[in-house]
Amino acid sequence: MTPRNGSSGCRAALIIPALNEEEAIGETLARVPPGLFECVIVADNGSTDRTAAVARAKGARVVYEPRRGYGAACLAAIAALPAEVECVVFLQADGSEDPAEAAKLLEPIARGAADLVIGSRSLGRAEPGALAPHQKFGNRLATFLIRLLYGRRYTDLGPFRAIRRDALERLRMRDRGYGWTVEMQVRALQEGLRVIERPVSYARRRAGAGKISGSLKASVAAGAKILTTIVWLHLRRGGRREPAGG
DSSP string, 7-61: TTSS-EEEEEEESS-TTTHHHHHHTSPTTS-SEEEEEE-S-SSSHHHHHHHTT-E
pTM: 0.88
- Report how far residue 164's alpha carbon sits from residue 86's, in angstroms, rounded to the nearest whole number: 6
Q: Which domains does the chain show, CATH number per domain?
A: 12-236 (3.90.550.10)
CA-based radius of gyration for the chain: 17
Write the pLDDT tens digit of every residue in 221-230.
777 889 899 9
Q: What is the mean pLDDT of residues 127-140?
A: 88
Write the pLDDT tens digit of every residue in 70-123.
999 999 999 999 999 999 999 999 999 999 999 999 999 999 999 999 999 999
Write the pLDDT tens digit of every residue in 156-199.
999 999 999 999 999 999 999 989 999 999 999 999 999 999 99
Helix ranges (H only) for the chain are: 25-30, 51-57, 70-79, 102-110, 133-150, 165-171, 180-190, 216-236
